[in-house]
Amino acid sequence: MNEGQRPRYLTVAEVAQDMRVSTMTVYRLIKSGELGAVRVGKSYRIRVADLDTFLDSRYVESETGS
């Protein structure tokens, strides 16, 4: 990230839509500590970098049976 550039944040609904899961799944990932988030009032915001890290850590290469 460039100096002076702020991180981009997403709402729980945006993360859920991007991952194609329910908002409850995103809340569970936050509560378990698997997905980093910032509490803003009564809602959460997720940094794009934290979402990318979460998804990268769960990347699975498919095995070919050839």
The mean per-residue pLDDT over the stretch 37-45 comes to 96
Angle at 60 between CA 38 and CA 29, to 5 degrees: 25
pLDDT-wise least confident of 10-14, 27-31, 54-58, 59-63: 59-63
Segments making up each domain of the chain, as ranges: 9-57
> What pLDDT score does 66 carry?
56
Per the model's pLDDT, the better-predicted residue between 56 and 2 turns out to be 56
CA distances from 52 to 2, 9, 13, 41, 46 (A): 18, 12, 16, 24, 10
- Identify the helix (H) or strand (E) that includes residue 15: helix 12-19
Q: Is the pLDDT of residue 2 over 80?
A: no
Residue written as token pair 């729980």: 12
> What pLDDT score does 30 carry?
98
